Protein backbone atom coordinates (compact mmCIF):
# COMPACT_ATOMS: atom_id res chain seq x y z
CA UNK A 1 0.00 0.00 0.00
CA UNK A 2 1.27 3.42 -1.00
CA UNK A 3 0.89 6.07 1.73
CA UNK A 4 2.04 9.13 -0.17
CA UNK A 5 0.41 12.18 -1.71
CA UNK A 6 2.53 13.08 -4.74
CA UNK A 7 2.14 16.23 -6.77
CA UNK A 8 0.46 14.31 -9.61
CA UNK A 9 -2.49 13.50 -7.27
CA UNK A 10 -3.14 17.13 -6.34
CA UNK A 11 -6.13 18.78 -7.96
CA UNK A 12 -4.96 22.04 -9.53
CA UNK A 13 -6.73 22.22 -12.89
CA UNK A 14 -9.01 25.27 -12.88
CA UNK A 15 -11.48 23.69 -15.36
CA UNK A 16 -11.89 20.60 -13.21
CA UNK A 17 -12.33 22.67 -10.05
CA UNK A 18 -14.93 24.88 -11.75
CA UNK A 19 -16.89 21.85 -13.00
CA UNK A 20 -16.65 20.34 -9.51
CA UNK A 21 -18.46 23.32 -8.02
CA UNK A 22 -20.98 23.55 -10.88
CA UNK A 23 -21.88 19.90 -11.43
CA UNK A 24 -20.24 17.94 -8.62
CA UNK A 25 -22.04 15.82 -6.06
CA UNK A 26 -21.18 15.89 -2.39
CA UNK A 27 -21.08 13.65 0.64
CA UNK A 28 -20.78 15.01 4.14
CA UNK A 29 -19.86 13.81 7.59
CA UNK A 30 -19.81 16.72 10.01
CA UNK A 31 -17.52 18.73 9.93
CA UNK A 32 -16.09 17.36 6.67
CA UNK A 33 -17.46 17.44 3.15
CA UNK A 34 -16.27 15.72 -0.01
CA UNK A 35 -17.32 17.15 -3.38
CA UNK A 36 -16.60 14.88 -6.33
CA UNK A 37 -17.08 14.55 -10.05
CA UNK A 38 -16.23 11.78 -12.46
CA UNK A 39 -13.71 13.18 -14.90
CA UNK A 40 -11.01 12.09 -17.28
CA UNK A 41 -7.57 13.57 -16.97
CA UNK A 42 -4.48 12.57 -18.90
CA UNK A 43 -2.48 11.48 -15.87
CA UNK A 44 -2.49 7.84 -14.90
CA UNK A 45 -3.96 8.32 -11.42
CA UNK A 46 -7.40 7.17 -10.25
CA UNK A 47 -8.19 10.38 -8.40
CA UNK A 48 -6.99 13.91 -7.79
CA UNK A 49 -7.71 15.55 -4.46
CA UNK A 50 -7.67 19.14 -3.29
CA UNK A 51 -8.22 20.40 0.26
CA UNK A 52 -9.82 23.60 1.50
CA UNK A 53 -10.52 25.32 4.79
CA UNK A 54 -12.88 28.28 4.90
CA UNK A 55 -11.55 31.76 5.58
CA UNK A 56 -14.98 32.45 7.06
CA UNK A 57 -14.28 30.06 9.95
CA UNK A 58 -10.54 30.63 10.36
CA UNK A 59 -9.44 34.21 9.75
CA UNK A 60 -5.75 33.57 10.37
CA UNK A 61 -3.77 31.82 7.65
CA UNK A 62 -1.83 29.93 10.32
CA UNK A 63 -5.01 28.21 11.47
CA UNK A 64 -6.22 27.46 7.93
CA UNK A 65 -2.84 26.01 7.02
CA UNK A 66 -2.83 23.79 10.10
CA UNK A 67 -6.20 22.26 9.22
CA UNK A 68 -5.19 21.85 5.56
CA UNK A 69 -2.12 19.93 6.71
CA UNK A 70 -4.31 17.73 8.91
CA UNK A 71 -6.75 17.09 6.03
CA UNK A 72 -3.92 16.17 3.66
CA UNK A 73 -2.47 13.80 6.24
CA UNK A 74 -5.85 12.15 6.87
CA UNK A 75 -6.33 11.75 3.12
CA UNK A 76 -2.83 10.31 2.69
CA UNK A 77 -3.36 7.68 5.37
CA UNK A 78 -6.90 6.71 4.31
CA UNK A 79 -6.88 7.11 0.53
CA UNK A 80 -6.77 3.33 0.11
CA UNK A 81 -10.45 3.28 1.14
CA UNK A 82 -11.27 5.41 -1.90
CA UNK A 83 -8.84 4.01 -4.45
CA UNK A 84 -9.78 0.37 -3.82
CA UNK A 85 -13.41 1.08 -4.71
CA UNK A 86 -13.11 3.43 -7.70
CA UNK A 87 -14.15 2.22 -11.14
CA UNK A 88 -13.29 5.45 -12.96
CA UNK A 89 -11.26 8.62 -12.45
CA UNK A 90 -12.51 11.28 -10.05
CA UNK A 91 -11.64 14.83 -9.13
CA UNK A 92 -12.39 15.64 -5.49
CA UNK A 93 -12.26 18.51 -3.04
CA UNK A 94 -12.06 17.84 0.68
CA UNK A 95 -13.46 20.57 2.97
CA UNK A 96 -13.28 21.36 6.67
CA UNK A 97 -16.50 23.27 7.33
CA UNK A 98 -16.74 24.42 10.90
CA UNK A 99 -15.06 26.77 13.31
CA UNK A 100 -14.82 23.95 15.87
CA UNK A 101 -11.21 23.01 16.46
CA UNK A 102 -11.24 19.21 16.41
CA UNK A 103 -8.00 17.41 17.11
CA UNK A 104 -6.20 15.19 14.62
CA UNK A 105 -7.67 11.91 15.91
CA UNK A 106 -11.24 13.16 15.67
CA UNK A 107 -10.68 14.46 12.14
CA UNK A 108 -9.04 11.18 11.13
CA UNK A 109 -12.04 9.17 12.39
CA UNK A 110 -14.46 11.49 10.58
CA UNK A 111 -12.35 11.14 7.41
CA UNK A 112 -12.63 7.35 7.53
CA UNK A 113 -16.40 7.59 8.04
CA UNK A 114 -16.71 10.11 5.19
CA UNK A 115 -14.69 7.97 2.77
CA UNK A 116 -16.75 4.88 3.68
CA UNK A 117 -19.95 6.88 3.14
CA UNK A 118 -18.66 7.92 -0.30
CA UNK A 119 -17.87 4.30 -1.20
CA UNK A 120 -21.39 3.24 -0.13
CA UNK A 121 -22.95 5.97 -2.26
CA UNK A 122 -20.90 4.79 -5.27
CA UNK A 123 -22.04 1.21 -4.74
CA UNK A 124 -25.69 2.28 -4.51
CA UNK A 125 -25.35 4.32 -7.69
CA UNK A 126 -23.79 1.36 -9.50
CA UNK A 127 -26.65 -0.92 -8.35
CA UNK A 128 -29.19 1.55 -9.73
CA UNK A 129 -27.41 1.67 -13.08
CA UNK A 130 -27.26 -2.13 -13.44
- pLDDT band, residue 130 (cuts 50/70/90): low
Going along the chain from its start, the domains and CATH numbers come out as 9-114 (3.30.230.10)
Within 8 A by CB and 6+ apart from 110, the residues are: 29, 30, 31, 32, 102
Cα–Cα dist 72/4, whole Å: 10
Cα–Cα dist 117/125, whole Å: 12
In this model, does residue 83 exceed pLDDT 80? yes
Mean pLDDT, the chain, integer:
93
Tell me, yes or no, if the pTM score tops 0.85: yes
Q: What digits encode the pLDDT tens for the residues 42-82?
A: 888 999 999 999 999 999 999 999 999 999 999 999 999 99
Indicate the angle between helix axes 104-129 and 61-83, nearest 10 degrees: 40
Amino acid sequence: MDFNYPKIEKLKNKKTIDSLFREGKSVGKYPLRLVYIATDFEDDVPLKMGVSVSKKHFKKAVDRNYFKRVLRECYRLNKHILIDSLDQKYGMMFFYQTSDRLDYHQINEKTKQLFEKFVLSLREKNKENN
